[in-house]
Chain A
């Protein structure tokens, strides 16, 4: 993270002998490094989630009323509930051994066996784009909370281009994706320009633009020419098949968007780490006055950065419409913008980290669906888990205190220090 400041004070290491590789590994394993803190954060979130599952289940809770008499009853039923819930989370997200068994036995299909992975990737795809949008802005010292609004505008333009134009397959898809990209870029350009020209804080302007975009979408889908003529509710015409992202055969939903997401991740990684614009944005992110002294135009970088960030989020919105949703509705963008924020934080604003974080969030979401159907535990639990993971990630000092972790040797685990309005 570019704005790392509050670092855990690393004690001056006493002179010591060369450790063996194994002891070095073990020592580092229990220190507050990125990987350990990430895993422990996920673990802590799951523990709190388990507590929530138990205390919200009246049947199990009633067994706690005679806990002192027969503790095994309460503990067993709690354990059963938790293990069933979390195994559903796993089965719904990664793979279900039973489905694989059925496939090998010939009683099931390969589609069923790969269904969970497909769902995970389907949910992860738009989050990669919105996550990258937040991450790249962060690297340049900007906090793009507008991912949601940019994704909504991306949905709108991508969707409208998807059903309004008549173009040959392939070209139509590219045009629709470009429309989404441009829409998001425009929605990012505005706060970028305001930031550069007037100093208006991008957090405030992007939050406000999120709502403007959502209201605009709500208005647009009721207009003639956009609304599905056979429906009276707020839903648009369907995207033409020429503009749809090619998907695996139904019922699998995963589509070409995930490939695009990986390519874009590579592109963003190159942009940040290898291009001259990336160098400028990192320089501006670390120290704007120094960047200015070095001859870079901070205003231009801010504006361009928000355009790029907006374009990424807009592309995510377009992918969501053209790959999964097929129609514009008021909820078409779901929560992908805000989730992108969490994904970027979890991925520590690194492109590949963001990709992995998006897949984790997609997995939680896909598994949450099965958990809801199977044990009736609300999907909202997944939202709680996602939020908790990021809270712990963002406060590594908290995790470190809970688990008595050693200070990391390379103390890169600072939290990003707030910049204020």
Chain B
């Protein structure tokens, strides 16, 4: 049985580059320089010489950071080039990640200056929207972290979202309680997770196959019940209350960040708290050590007395609860009613965030926020009438993930036993 992972494919491994000159940093440097030149000359030439206003509120009013669009575009473009050149010299290896982030940030800012020239972009609204788009992605990716760090591939995040969204709408309406809705959303995620766990761990079915089929199953069953119950009688079955927004006095007054982080709903806080909690638990608790052991080397874990299958069951089910809560976002926070296939591939973006974030909670958070920002930006640009088609911005998460797994921007490595059922010998 050959093990194939993203990290190394023994039989097709690229020979470790013997040429030390074109190391990873220089290759990245080339990339950053190229996009910097693109920003400087192409974006710069296209940008209008009008003021770009980034307002610090949710609309056009109030204080704003203003800059001439063309100047800003070229300035940030040149900054990107500079970062790229520094990386090319190969003298700043220890600052590699920081430089990479800086380069990409400057590129994004250059792009924004081009697009916003002559218009305004409300920062609070942008951040708020990014976080809102990112919310289900964070929870979905965390569900993936829980399962995959213990060695169970979870492609069924989409299905867990759908069941969660459906459960939240149905029970939330019947009980006229948003909290009952949230709980049943988690139960909905749990149902799919339980099916995944039993089929993958007990019956050793290929986990990717199970995931894909469970997605389809969830799509079918929620669509079926939607058409049979909710469509004919929406008032009775499909009008869940929306999740209230709470304001923390004091903190909510902080400019920009305040209204985004401290005047929001419980689900956002839940997601943002779960990230450090899971990070800490994975690193420092007995459960975390065992999870990582089972995900990397189940035989060794079994030898020292860890119940491999039991732990995997627990983790997959926990993941189901978290992903189900992510599903609640769609009905209790976003739209306020269930609709057929309403998650529309968000589960797969969450999967992308998980992989892009290298199977770590904070990585997943960062990736989810990045993807959320891309989505919000796509929305903003389509409303603002930008010539850049929003479909291409929406492709960003997927392309970024392909680039990441192909090792163009550092290698991502899955837990060694991810997706390999454990059979006690």
Contacts and interface: CB of A to CB of B under 8 A. Distances in A.
A199 B217 contact: no
B19 interface: no
Contacts of B137: none
A381 B217 CA distance: 10
A416 interface: yes
Interface of B: 1-14, 153, 155, 195, 199-200, 203-210, 212-214, 216-217, 219-221, 223-229, 340, 345, 348, 351-352, 355, 389, 391-392, 394-395, 398-399, 401-402, 405-407, 414, 417-421, 423
Nearest to A420: B419
B204 A6 contact: yes
Interface stretch (A211-219, A252-260, A265-273): A211-219
Interface in A144-179: 145
B395 to A, nearest CB: 5
Interface in A189-230: 194-201, 203-205, 207-209, 211-212, 215-216, 218-219
Given A378-B224, A418-B420, A419-B3, A289 B398 contact: no
A263 interface: no
Contacts of A302: 12
B214 A387 contact: yes
Contacts of B351: 207
Interface stretch (A11-19, A20-28, A391-399): A391-399
A417 B417 CA distance: 13
Contacts of B214: 387, 391
A212 B2 contact: no
Nearest to A397: B203
B200 to A, nearest CB: 7
A416 B206 contact: yes
The 8 lowest CB-CB distance pairs between A and B, nearest first, are A420-B419, A383-B220, A380-B223, A199-B9, A384-B220, A378-B227, A387-B217, A208-B398
A57 B203 contact: no
B389 to A, nearest CB: 5
A384 to B, nearest CB: 4
A299 B10 CA distance: 11
A420 B355 contact: no
Contact of B405 (A201, A378, A384): A201
Interface of A: 3, 5-6, 52, 56-57, 141, 143, 145, 194-201, 203-205, 207-209, 211-212, 215-216, 218-219, 287-289, 291-292, 298-299, 302, 338, 341-342, 345, 377-378, 380-388, 390-391, 394-395, 397-398, 415-421
B213 A196 contact: no
B318 to A, nearest CB: 20
Contacts of B394: 215
B395 A212 contact: yes
Contact of B6 (A199, A291, A345, A418): A199
Contact of B421 (A6, A204, A292, A341): A6
Nearest to B159: A387
B10 A289 contact: yes
A415 B5 CA distance: 20
Contact of B206 (A208, A209, A384, A394): A394
A194 B419 CA distance: 20
B2 A199 contact: no
Given A194-B402, A342-B213, A215 B391 contact: yes
A417 B212 CA distance: 15
A386 B217 CA distance: 8
A345 B395 CA distance: 29
Contact of B391 (A5, A216, A384, A390): A216
Contacts of B14: 197-199
B220 A387 contact: yes
B402 A209 contact: yes
A201 B395 contact: no
Contact of A342 (B7, B11, B200, B216): B216
Given A418-B153, A421-B418, A211 B395 contact: yes
B422 to A, nearest CB: 11
A415 B203 contact: yes
Nearest to A303: B12
B161 to A, nearest CB: 15
A341 B209 CA distance: 9
A211 B398 contact: yes
Contacts of B4: 199, 201, 419-421
B206 A415 contact: yes
16 contacts: A52-B221, A56-B225, A194-B405, A194-B406, A201-B405, A203-B208, A208-B398, A299-B12, A383-B219, A384-B221, A390-B213, A394-B206, A398-B199, A398-B203, A415-B206, A419-B2
A418 B399 contact: no
B407 A200 contact: yes
B216 A417 contact: no
A418 B12 contact: no
Given A200-B405, A383-B220, A387-B214, A289 B399 contact: no
Contacts of A145: 208, 212
A417 B421 contact: yes
B199 A5 contact: no
A203 B213 CA distance: 14
A421 B228 contact: no
A281 to B, nearest CB: 14
A367 B229 CA distance: 22
Given A201-B6, A378-B224, A420-B153, A289 B11 contact: yes
Contacts of A338: 212, 216
A313 to B, nearest CB: 15
Nearest to B199: A395
B423 A6 contact: yes
A398 B204 CA distance: 10
A198 B402 CA distance: 11
- Of A196, A378, A416, A420, the most chain B CB neighbours within 10 A belong to A420
Contacts of A291: 11
